[in-house]
């Protein structure tokens, strides 16, 4: 049996062309996933956040059931994250990329704002004096101003079990 670090290196740094065709470049996939997560959650995510989320997911799974595959995936994601950091640090024109992401997020926000305004106008509960406050707070919510909030929220969720 080979070392877990060697196997993770094979997965990340010697990725087959078939995997690249099926899933796209890993860094670009995590950037796209961050945009989708941002659109779905209303909170700003980036590729680094996605790497963190995938790594802590593997550690969370490991806490329930020891499987070497969880550790292998976590190590592979850590290696891929370092590659992503190295690749994006070398890009001379990150401002254009940031501007594109900002424009996409603005469009998503404007679309959400328009939809929200539409539904608020059509909301009859307020008109009839019904309480529209949430019944309970989601256990999955977290403070987006805290950079470690996602990790802390995931730990909190794990403690609920």
pLDDT tens profile 17-31: 777 778 888 899 999
The whole-angstrom separation of Cα 132 and Cα 149 is 27
Look at the block and give the residue holding tokens 């305004």.
117
User: Is this model's pTM higher than 0.75 or not?
Assistant: no
The whole-angstrom separation of Cα 29 and Cα 119 is 33
pLDDT tens profile 111-161: 555 544 544 444 444 444 555 555 555 555 555 566 566 667 666 766 665
pLDDT tens profile 66-94: 889 999 999 999 999 999 999 998 776 55
Higher model confidence: residue 105 or residue 45? 45
Q: Which two tokens stand for residue 131?
A: 């309480």
The whole-angstrom separation of Cα 73 and Cα 58 is 7
């Amino acid at each position: 049996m080979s070392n877990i670090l060697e196997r993770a290196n094979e997965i990340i740094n010697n990725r087959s062309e078939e995997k690249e065709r099926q899933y796209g470049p890993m860094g670009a996939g995590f950037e796209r996933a961050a945009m989708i997560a941002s659109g779905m959650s209303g909170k700003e995510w980036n590729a680094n956040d996605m790497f963190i989320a995938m790594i802590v997911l593997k550690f969370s799974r490991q806490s329930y059931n020891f499987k070497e595959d969880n550790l292998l995936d976590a190590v592979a994601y850590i290696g891929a994250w370092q590659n992503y950091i190295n690749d994006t640090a070398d890009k001379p024109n990150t401002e254009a990329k940031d501007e594109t992401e900002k424009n996409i997020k603005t469009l998503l926000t404007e679309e959400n704002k328009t939809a929200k305004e539409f539904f608020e106008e059509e909301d009859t509960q307020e008109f009839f004096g019904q309480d529209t406050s949430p019944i309970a707070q989601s256990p999955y919510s977290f403070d987006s101003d805290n950079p470690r909030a996602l990790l802390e929220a995931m730990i909190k969720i794990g403690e609920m079990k």
